[in-house]
């Protein structure tokens, strides 16, 4: 059994939101959850793992 940690950080790398999911859960689900509370931004940088 494994887990994934999804982190939403500000421009200084400080965590704004963290989400832990089971390892078999799709990255799309893990990425979508914290984005709901995201403030309006000019840039959004994501890990290439979310680009599948």
Q: pLDDT (tens digit, 0 to 9) for every residue of the chain, 52 residues total?
A: 799 888 888 888 898 888 898 988 887 777 777 777 777 878 877 776 655 5
Question: Which residues lie below 8 Å from residue 8, measured CB to CB, with a gap of 6+?
Answer: 15, 16, 17, 18, 34, 35, 38
Strand partners, 21: 4
Enumerate helices (H) and strands (E) in the chain, giving the number of each: 1, 2
pTM above 0.85, yes or no: no
Number of domains in the chain: 1
Domain limits at 26? 3-51
């Amino acid at each position: 059994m494994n887990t994934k940690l999804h982190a939403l950080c500000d421009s200084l790398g400080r965590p704004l939101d963290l989400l832990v999911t089971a390892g078999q859960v799709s990255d799309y689900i893990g990425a979508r959850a914290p984005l709901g509370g995201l403030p309006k931004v000019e840039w959004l940088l994501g890990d290439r793992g979310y680009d599948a």
